[in-house]
Amino acid sequence: MKVIISPAKSLDFDTSLPTEDYSMPLFLDKASNINEVLRKKTPNQLSKLMGISNNLAELNWERNQAFEKQFTPQNARPAIFTFSGEVYQGLDAFHLNKNELDYLQKNTYILSGQYGILRPLDLMQAYRLEMGTTLRIGSSKNLYDYWKKNLTAFLETQFSNEDILVNLASNEYSKAIDLKKVSATVYSPIFKDWKNDQLKVISFFAKKARGMMLRYMAQNSISTASDLLGFNAEGYHYSAEHTKNEFEPVFVR
């Protein structure tokens, strides 16, 4: 069983790391190619490209200029302890034990506009580049065009026909993979909350729930679809009543 998740815009380079273990990104050469394009852009061009404020554009211009091709623990940090958005708040990787982190490292892939795929302990340098950004890289018209073939081919090597891929990524990121070409059964959990007497997907809560489900999987060494349905963190539970497609199990609270 493998899992794909999204990255986060917010980053944490300050909290002390609970482990000295790390690994190297799988597609560093392709990430460096992206940086070569980005570092030529001015803060104003970055602002327009990404739809971000001048202050954020200036920050990311500085990040692009500081990018180093040789990754070390001195200039980079494991991804699972660096992304700090809602998904990673739900995951709370800082409080997982070694066996649980090993499960994540073996089974989890973080999709990234800059790095393509990051395993949890892969080193990363600070960046901001959403997968949906329309950035031309060589002959590739955008990041989907740049990454999809490589990411799909890599994931295909990780599966046999009886394997499972749990898609906990947002649509923006899962589109970077041609899931129809992956030799695995894909499950895409949906998380809904009751609001005003209606069940709705509320983005903030759904993102955190994706992280909590990944935490549940690591803590329980989940390897089957039926075990996945046992997820019940912070009031969520599987609802057969609201599940219309077995490959899109609905969890409600």
Position 107 scores a pLDDT of 97
For 171, the 3-state DSSP assignment is helix
Cα–Cα dist 9/102, whole Å = 25
Q: What mean pLDDT, rounded, does the chain reach?
A: 96
- 161: pLDDT strictly greater than 90: no
Kindly list the domain boundaries of the chain, sorted by start residue: 2-11+77-252
pLDDT for residue 52: 96
Residue 160 has pLDDT above 80, yes or no: no
Does 181 have pLDDT greater than 80? yes
Q: Which two tokens stand for residue 220?
A: 């329980």
Place of tokens 């041609």: 178
Mean pLDDT within 51-71 = 96
**Looking at residue 48, what is its pLDDT?**
97
| Residues 133/172, Cβ–Cβ less than 8 Å | no
What pLDDT is attached to residue 41? 98
Q: Is 97 exposed, middle or buried (0-12, 13-18, 19+ CB in 10 A)?
A: exposed
Mean pLDDT of 146-162: 92
% pLDDT > 70, the chain: 100
Quote the pLDDT of residue 162. 79
Give per-residue pLDDT as tens, 220-248. 999 999 999 999 999 999 999 999 999 99
pLDDT of residue 232: 95
Q: Taking residues 19-26, what's their average pLDDT?
A: 97
For 82, which DSSP code?
Answer: T
Helices 28-38 and 143-156 sit at what angle, rounded to 10 degrees? 170
pLDDT, one tens digit per residue, over 83-115 is 999 999 999 999 999 999 999 999 999 999 999
Of 61, 144, 33, the closest CA to residue 50 belongs to 61
